[in-house]
Amino acid sequence: MMTTLRLYARSRGGVARLGILGAAAALPVLLAPVEFLGVPVRDAAASIFLNAALLAGTVVAFPLGAPWSELDEALPDRPLRDLRLVWFMAVTVAAVLAGAAAVAVREDAALLMPFYGRNVLLGLGIGALSVCLLPRTVAWLPATAYAMVCWVWGTEDQLGTARVWALPNHDLTSWLSLLVAVSLWAGAAALYTYRDGQQVP
């Protein structure tokens, strides 16, 4: 089973590639200012962080693609679905641990970690669904476009109050943003387990 899992991981780019993408996902935590004073977004830099965390989850989702169709075709359905689920969880853990490592390096970023975790789940859900449903050449577009719209038009006043649809900008008391993030992540996990990502051309 471990040999098959290693082959499956290699077919998706390998653990090394996942680690590199995880490191890239940690950059928003390392670079963002801590400027939250009872509102979701206080300044443009904080808004950039929130939506960069969304994109971090999307970036880490790309190893969910399926470049080696020959390996998948050689495996029975049940083990293949188990491998997909394990790999999806590994991708999720890599994204979350990247943020936790950044918090360990920069202690004042601890305030941002809950925002990071929620938005990474949201981005991972959108990214994984896109990888499963869209051609690989355009799978990055939905989350990127959504992040840009949330950054530019996601607040309704100078205090940074988030609009209802701008889920990455919501504060931590927003049950809606958390519910949507978890639901998208769980739905993406289920779809990936049964359908897999699009083949690489």
pLDDT digits (tens, 9 = 90+) for 17-58: 788 877 877 777 777 766 554 444 445 556 667 777 787 778
Mean pLDDT score, 76-97: 83
According to DSSP, residue 33 is labeled -
- For a pLDDT cut of 70, what percent of the chain falls above it? 78
Answering whether pTM is above 0.95, one says no
188, 129 in Cβ contact below 8 A?
yes
Greater confidence, 87 or 50?
Answer: 87
pLDDT at 139 over 50: yes
Q: Is the dihedral of CA 165, 35, 53, 190 positive or negative?
A: negative
pLDDT at 135 over 60: yes
| Model pLDDT for residues 165-190, shown as the tens digit of each residue | 999 888 888 899 999 999 999 999 99
Among 45-54, 92-101, 128-137, the minimum mean pLDDT is found in 45-54
What does the pLDDT read at residue 181?
A: 95
Tell me the sheet residues that pair with 155: 162
Determine how many CB atoms are found less than 10 A away from the CB of residue 82.
Answer: 16
Helix (H, G, I), strand (E, B) or coil at 158: coil
How far is residue 47 from each of residues 57, 58, 62, 145, 154, measured CA to CA in Å? 16, 17, 24, 15, 9
According to DSSP, residue 164 is labeled T
Angle CA(138)–CA(140)–CA(142) in degrees, nearest 5?
90
Measured distance CA(82)–CA(110) in Å, rounded: 34
